[in-house]
Amino acid sequence: MSAANAPSGWRLLVAVAVLLALTGGVAARVVMLQAEEERNFLKRQGDLRTVRTLTIQPARGVISDRRGEPLAVSTPVFAVWANPREFRPDHPGVESLAAELDFTADELRARLARRAGREFVYLRRQVSPGRAESIAALKVPGVDLQDEYKRFYPAGEVAAHIVGITNIDDEGIEGLELAYQAWLTGSPGRKRVVRDRFGQVVRDLEYLATAEPGRPLQLSIDMRLQYLAYRELTAAMAEHRAESGTVVVLDTRTGEVLAMVNWPSYNPNAPVTSQFERLRNRAVTDLYEPGSTVKPITIAAALESGRFDVDATIDTAPGHVRVSGKLITDPLNRGVLDLEQIVARSSQVGIARIALELDDDILRGAFGRFGFGQITGIGFPGETSGVLPEAARWPLIDRVTFAFGYGMAVTPLQLAQAYSVFANQGLFRPPSLLRLDSPPDALRVMDEEVARHISRMLESVVRDEGTAARARISGYQVAGKTGTVRKIGPGGYDNQRHLAFFAGYAPAVNPRVTTVVVINEPKGSQVGGGTVAAPVFARVTAGALRLLSEPPDLPHLLQARAGGDS
C-alpha cells in the first residue's frame, strides 16, 4: 500500500474497531439485561414460593362483670394445617406429628391422601402454644401453623347462660356472645412474611394492615351475687330434687340485672355435644303460669278502677265459689277478709269475687302495663314475650282464673320486672344486662298511692299471718308474694307436678333489690312457694343486701311494720 493511501486505511481500521466495540457493548448489555431479567424472574418465582401475605386474627373483645372481673377472654392458640400437595408422607417427622395431633401415622397419611387435590386442609384447631412449638420443630414439609384464638370462660357454668359461647371459628353462637357478635369481633390485619422451605415463617417483611381487637363489653352482673345465687339455687335443687330452677336479681333503682342463674347449667369451656336443653337461659326463654304471684296486680287493678277502696272487705264464706260450673276453693272458710288479708293468705275465693266485679279490659290492661305479653328489650337471643290473652269477650271463668295467674304465661325476668314496679312506687324501668352509667327514664304505669298500698300488703305476706314467713331477712323488712302452680299434664292440671315461686324485694321501704325464684317440679312433702322458693329468696336477697352495703331497717320502722301499721 502506498503512502498516499495510508490515512484511508487507518480510518477503516478505526471504524472497524469502533464497530466491534459497539457491537461488544450491545452484546454485553444484552447479556446483562438477560441476566438481570432472569434474576428478577427467579426472585419472583422464589417469592411466590417463600413470600406470603398472612391474615392477622384480631382478639375478641373481653366480656366482664360490673366490677371488671373477666367473664370471657380470648387466649392465643394455633391451627395446624397442611398442603397435601407438598406433604411428604415418608418424612421422618410424620410419626411424631401424628402423635401430637392425636392421630396414628396411617390415619394422618390417609387423611391427606384423600385430599391430595387440595392446597389447604385443617389438621387440628385450637392447639396450645406448647404443642404448636413441638409441631413446628418437626419441620414436616407442607405442614404449617396459623394464629387463632380460643375463648376462655373463667366463671364456667355459673355465668354460662348469660355470657354464652363461641364456636371453633370464634363466632358467638349462644348468649351475649351471639347478641353482641358485631361489637365483640375486631378487624383482621395483614402482613407479608418470608417462609423457609418447610413452610415456617422466618421473617416478617411488612405490616399491610393492623389488626383491631374487638370492643370490650361490661355487663350489669355482679359476680359476687351471681356465685351466691347459683350456690343457693343448686342447693335447693338437691334438697327438693327439682327438675330445674331460676333466680333473677334486679337492682330495683336502675333495672340492672345483678344476677341471673339457672339450673341445670353447662360448662362453656368444654365442647357441648349433647343435652342442648342445658344451653337455654330459662330466665328469658321459658314460660310459666305465674299463679298467685300476680294476685297483687289484680288488687291494683281493682283499686285503680274505683270500684274498690283500700278498706274494702270481701266475704269468702263458705270457702268456695262456683263460676261457670267450676268450683274455686280456699283451703278453709276464712269468712270476711280485707284486701290485705286476701293477699297475705292468698285467697282464691277473694280474688275470684274481685275479678267478677271488674271488666275484662281493665284487668288485662293492668297486666299489660306491667310488661307482660311483650319482650323486655333486654336484647337476649331467644327471649320470649310470654302469653297475655286478648280480653275481648272472656268467659267469666277465664277472667277469674286469669286474675290469679292461670291462662297466661310469663318469664322469670318479666315477673321480676313487674315486681320492680311495686318496689318503685308505680314506676316502670326496663331491665338491662349491660352496666348503666345512670338509671334510664322511668315510666309511670300505676298510681303512686296504689303502689304504696300494694307494697304494704306484700309486707304482710312475710309476717306471721302470711304465706311466706320463711322469706324473712333479719334486720330488713321484706315485701313479696308466694305462688304454687299446678303444671299442665296430659289430662289437664296435674296435682303431682308443681311450680314454686317467690317474688319480692327488700328493704320494703326504698328497696334495693328485687328477686324472683322459680323452682320447677320440686319433689317430696314440700312443694309450695312459701316452703321451697321463699327460703332461697331470703338467703340470696340477704347476701345481696350485705354485699351491696345496704344498711338495715331502723328498729322503730321494723316494729311499726310488724304491727301492721298501714
- Annotated catalytic sites, by residue? 292
What is the SS3 assignment for 538? helix
Largest Cα separation within the chain, whole Å, is: 160
Count of residues for the chain? 566
Spatial contact of 514 and 423, defined as CB atoms under 8 Å apart: yes
For residue 16, how far is the Cα from the chain centroid?
91
β 70-82/427-428 pair status: unpaired
CA 161-165-166 angle, 5° bins: 165
Please report, for residues 220, 233, 440, 515, 523, the alpha-carbon distance to residue 243 in angstroms, rounded to integers and kept in the order given.
28, 12, 36, 20, 9
> Which residue do the cell numbers 322458693 mark?
533
One DSSP character per residue, 226-287 reads HHHHHHHHHHHHHHHT-SEEEEEEEETTT-BEEEEEEES---TTS---S-GGGG--HHHH--
Structural element, H or E, at residue 493? strand 492-506
**What is the DSSP secondary structure assignment for residue 529, as one 8-state letter?**
I
Q: Which DSSP string do the residues of 324-372 spell out, in sequence order?
A: TTEEEE-SS---EEEHHHHHHTT-HHHHHHHHHTS-HHHHHHHHHHTTT
- Sequence letter at residue 143: V
Q: How far apart are CA 533 and CA 415, in angstroms?
A: 14
| Cβ neighbours of residue 357 closer than 8 Å, sequence gap 6 or more | 302, 307, 308
Closest among 214, 170, 201 to 54, alpha carbons compared: 201
* H or E segment and range at residue 77: strand 70-82
Q: Are strands 443-444 and 189-195 parallel, antiparallel or unpaired?
A: unpaired
CA distance 237 to 233: 6
State the Rg of the chain over Cα: 37
Query: Helix/strand/coil (H, E, C) string of 472-487?
Result: CECCECCEEEEEEEEE
Helix (H, G, I), strand (E, B) or coil at 439: coil
If one counts every other C-beta atom within 10 angstroms of the C-beta of residue 115, the result is 16
Name the 3-class secondary structure at 159.
coil
Q: How would DSSP label each residue in 399-431?
A: HHHHHTT-S-BB-HHHHHHHHHHHHTTTEE---
> In terms of Cα–Cα distance, which of 88, 107, 85, 86 is closest to 98?
107
**440 and 430 Cβ atoms separated by less than 8 Å:** yes
